[in-house]
Amino acid sequence: MEEKAEIAIQHSDDAFFKVFLSDYSLRPSCYSCLFKGYRMPGDLIIGDFWNIRMAYPSMDDDKGVSEVIVVTEKGEKLISMLSGRMEIRRTSILKAFQPAIWYPPVKPRKRERFFLELRSNSFATSLQHINSNKLRGIASLFRGIVRTLWPIRFKRTAAGMSRVENDLKKTCIGCSACVSACPTKAIGMKADNEGFQYPIIDESKCINCGLCKRICPVANPKKMLTGFRAVYAMKASDEIRACCSSGGVFPVLAEEIVRKGGIVFGAVLDLLSSNFVKHTAVDDVARLSLLYGSKYIQSTIGSSYEDVKRELATGRLVLFSGTPCQIAGLYSYLGRFDYSNLYTISIICHGVPSSLVFSAYLKDMQKDGMDIVDVSFRDKIIGWRRYSIKLTYSKHNV
């Protein structure tokens, strides 16, 4: 007989979220993210409309509202698929303002110390050690305000690009476009000691064609846009919003694409795999829920870029969703290939923790004789704003 138990911890009381939201556990490249503001790729950009109570109080029922930024003409086509299925209100980028759209997170002074602590301590002890500085909260708030009011930030991110070759660790986003493009399959991805994946080249297979450098979205950034086309506040039915993180834009669009015969790529949680989250293709409405909900661990791309290309070559409709850097990697990989049937959704991105961080957290949360069989990072049981991390345990009695 299988026994199950669930616990839900409000994010403000949870160790994983304390570390994530104070930016300790993010990939090094996130601190100089090149895909912010008008550099964010994708036909649509979606996120949580945290400011909805101020912008449109009547829309706020604490079950989730999405903010949706239309970047391209294709993005407008996606919006037309949503009409009739969502409550939609046009708004402005000012009303939908949140720092994660415009600026990278600030790297905490003790970030490296946190990862070092994780090697010999539990997650909770590592958190305790970095939390010893009581002034940190005030210092980081001050730095946040200065950065928000100081648009000079763009110059700093642009400067980051020149560091690509000699400082791969700081700039590589781990998109694996180089891995997918390599004609001799000489490149693979390997986790470093913080648990983030980086490309490694097997010199015996490398023919020095240079394709990996030409395709890298960090080494070859795209032109910056001059503005967004439109911004919306949106919410789907209560039933849909119960199983997703925000207002349900992604689930509704994914279903529309699959019903039109298309295929949808997104991030799936697999607690049995070493990376925990991987990009996966789904073309069956019954399995779409695997893609729903935010998973706060960097997702591995695997062969997804190649799979997208193969599907596009057959003339199929493709919807690809991911972090802005993953979308940039996809466009770089596709290059001049005809992607008229491709639609892309970037999520507004705070940054991504590694699988090692999550694995240390799970170890702390283990209970005797029970396995953690599911995790929901954005459970809305006590509301969308006070979201909780929900862990499901299973006990097997013989």
For the chain, state the CA radius of gyration: 21
Q: State in angstroms the smallest separation of the CB of 367 from ligand FAD.
A: 25
Q: From CA 369, how far away is CA 163, in angstroms rounded?
A: 48
The H or E element spanning position 52 is helix 52-55
Residue 149 exposed, middle or buried by CB count within 10 Å (0-12, 13-18, 19+): exposed
- The nearest distance, CB 107 to ligand SF4, in angstroms, is 12
Contact 321, 345 (CB under 8 A): yes
> Contact letters (x/-) for ligand SF4, 133-172, by CB under 6 A?
---------------------------------------x
Q: Which does 305 bind (CB under 5 to 8 A by kind): ligand FAD, ligand SF4, none?
A: none
* Residue 321, helix vs strand vs coil: strand
Residue 346 DSSP SS3: strand
Find the shortest distance in angstroms from Cβ 364 to ligand FAD.
21
Q: Per CB under 6 A, which of residues 335..354 are in contact with ligand SF4?
A: 349, 351-352
The CA-based dihedral angle spanning residues 351, 357, 362, 363, taken in that order and rounded to the nearest 10 degrees: -170
Instruction: State the first-to-last Cα distance of the chain, in angstroms, to the nearest integer.
Output: 7
**What angle (nearest 5°) sits at the alpha carbon of residue 32, between those of residues 353 and 206?**
80
- When asked if residue 240 is in the footprint of ligand SF4 (CB under 6 A), the reply is no
Which of 40, 215, 352, 360 is in the footprint of ligand FAD by CB under 6 A?
A: 352
Span 166-205, contacts to ligand SF4 by CB under 6 A:
172-178, 199
Partner touching 250 among ligand SF4, ligand FAD, none, CB below 5 to 8 Å by kind: ligand FAD
119 burial via Cβ count (<10 Å: 0-12, 13-18, 19+): exposed
- Site size toward ligand FAD, by CB under 6 A: 33
What's the Cα-to-Cα distance from 120 to each of 102, 124, 194, rounded to whole Å? 36, 12, 13
- The whole-angstrom separation of Cα 137 and Cα 283 is 45
Q: Of these partners, ligand SF4, ligand FAD, none, which one is at the site of residue 324 (CB under 5 to 8 Å by kind)?
A: ligand SF4
Q: Residue 103 or residue 387: which is nearer to ligand SF4 going by CB?
A: 103
Q: Look at the chain and count its residues.
A: 398
> SS3 of 81, please?
helix
Q: How far is the CB of 209 from ligand FAD (least distance, A)?
A: 30
Binding partner of 177, given ligand SF4, ligand FAD, none, CB within 5-8 angstroms per partner class: ligand SF4
Neighbours of 15 (CB within 10 A): 19
Q: Which is closer to ligand FAD, CB of 123 or CB of 387?
A: 387
If you ran DSSP here, which 8-state letter would residue 5 be given? Answer: E
Question: 357 burial class (0-12, 13-18, 19+ CB within 10 angstroms)?
Answer: buried
Scanning residues 241 to 300, which ones bind ligand FAD (CB under 6 A)? 244-251, 266-267, 277, 291-297, 299
Q: Please name the residues in contact with 310: beta carbons below 8 A apart, sequence gap of 6 or more.
A: none
Residue closer to ligand SF4, measured from CB, 215 or 291: 215
Only segment of 6-14, 23-31, 135-143, 357-365 that touches ligand SF4 (CB under 6 A): 23-31
Q: Nearest distance from residue 27's CB to ligand SF4, in Å?
A: 6
C-alpha closest to that of 353 among 1, 9, 7, 15: 15
Give the shortest CB-46-to-ligand FAD separation in angstroms. 5
Q: Does 235 engage in binding with ligand FAD (CB under 6 A)?
A: no
Judged by CB under 6 A, the number of residues near ligand SF4 is 22
Of the candidates 17, 20, 24, 35, which one interacts with ligand SF4 according to CB under 6 A? 35
> Per rule CB under 6 A, is residue 48 in the interface with ligand FAD?
yes
Pick out residues in 311-350 that bind ligand FAD (CB under 6 A): 321-323, 347-350
Residue with tokens 């690509």: 164
Task: Give me the residues that bind ligand FAD (CB under 6 A), please.
Answer: 46-48, 66, 98, 100, 244-251, 266-267, 277, 291-297, 299, 321-323, 347-350, 352
Site residues, ligand SF4 (CB under 6 A): 27, 29-30, 33, 35, 172-178, 199, 216, 218, 323-325, 329, 349, 351-352
